[in-house]
Amino acid sequence: MKQSLTRRGLLGALGGAVAATAGCQAPGSPAESSPGVQAANAQSSAAASTQPESAYTAVYEQVVDAVASVRVYADAGTGSQGSGFLVDDEHIVTNQHVVAGGSEFYVRFSDTGWRSVSVVGADVYSDLAVLRIDDPPSGVTPLSFVEEEPPVGTEVVAIGNPFGLSGSVTAGIISGVNRTLQGANNFSIADAVQTDAPVNPGNSGGPLVTLDGEVVGVINAGGGDNVAFAISAPLTQRVVPALVTSGDYDHSYMGVSLRSVSPLLAEANDLDRASGVYIDRVVEGGPSVGVLQGSTGSEIVSETSVPVGGDVVRRLDDTPTPTRQALASFLALSTSPGDTIDVLVERDGSERTVELTLGSRPEP
């Protein structure tokens, strides 16, 4: 989530943080200078020096120098803040919604001041954006992505800028994979990673990393006390290179409106099993016109109106599609506009394979 701010509000937030710090006892106060406190402090320091380094400390120290605070200002003087991270010597990945509407863009790393950056490209359909920095911090190693998606239960940390508190780290696990997030224009963001690592406003665009320091995903949103999401490494690795080279990214497009096959929909359409993806509508002028079939009517089942007559997609090429998530992930990670794919559908009680040439999603 990005955090909205004004220039005056930002100064107030920073002042509040200073005020809170000022409430602590200052070094050299009478209580801290007493012999008893000095002895206790010495014992505490000795104990700390003998404790093994935490795995969380190790990954934080490995990653934090490549993580940036991102600040965005609009023409009206208002703006927002988020997070980002270096992926090479001059490019920073963040969220599209962090930079949206901005006219001035700045980043700050752990050992630098604020530096002006420019937006190379942004993609609303994946909520990813790339910034270019002309003077990156020296000696910092850009972050790399995982080669394979870690399984559910893998420990991860989120590092970013929640509430403007740069370099903050929270820990959790991967709670789920292959999630589908709501995107722009009623499209979905496929293959998202779910985590229970706490995520707050300002974390948007920061990395979710394994304890080996490899990026699992780009933090996108928090949905509750223990539910947050990240754009997956595989999708990020497809989108970001295109944003760097051309400034945008074309997503594959079937031109259909989809539904999950629920028990009621399966009953109304005489399906043997309540799985697959139902074609409710074929978009006029889209690539599926004359290839796939949408609903032809509706029936009442258990006092509920249910569409009937549409195709049920069982497989795309060799990939089964028991859920909308599976279909969306295949399109997002394995296809490009212009590709022709085989679509196995169940229509009117029998299965058939049709060829579909994919288009590009319309401009947002």
**Residue extents of the structural domains in the chain:** 1-249, 252-360
pLDDT interval class at 1 (50, 70, 90) = low
Q: What is the pLDDT of residue 25?
A: 28
> pLDDT tens digits for 5-64?
543 343 333 333 333 322 222 233 344 344 444 444 445 455 455 566 799 999 999 999
Determine whether 97 is an active site residue: yes
Tokens of 55: 């795995």
Question: How many percent of the chain have pLDDT more than 90?
Answer: 74
Amino acid at 1: M
Determine whether 127 is an active site residue: yes
- pLDDT average, residue stretch 336-342: 98
> Does position 246 have pLDDT exceeding 70, yes or no?
yes
Counting Cβ atoms within 10 Å, is residue 53 exposed (0-12), middle (13-18) or buried (19+)? exposed
CATH architecture of 1-249: Beta Barrel (2.40)
Q: Which listed residue (69, 83, 97, 126) is catalytic?
A: 97
Q: What is the pLDDT of residue 3?
A: 62
Q: Which listed residue (69, 204, 288, 329) is catalytic?
A: 204
- The CA distance from 206 to 194, in Å, is 14
> pLDDT tens digits for 257-292?
999 999 999 999 999 989 999 999 999 999 999 999
- pLDDT average, residue stretch 186-199: 94
Determine whether 232 is an active site residue: no
Q: What is the CATH number of domain 252-360?
A: 2.30.42.10
Higher pLDDT, residue 223 or 305: 305
What's the count of helices (H) and strands (E) in the chain, helices before strands?
Answer: 8, 24
Put simply, whether the predicted model's pTM sits higher than 0.75 gets the answer yes
Return the minimum-mean-pLDDT range out of 40-49, 116-125, 315-324. 40-49
Q: What is the pLDDT of residue 14?
A: 32
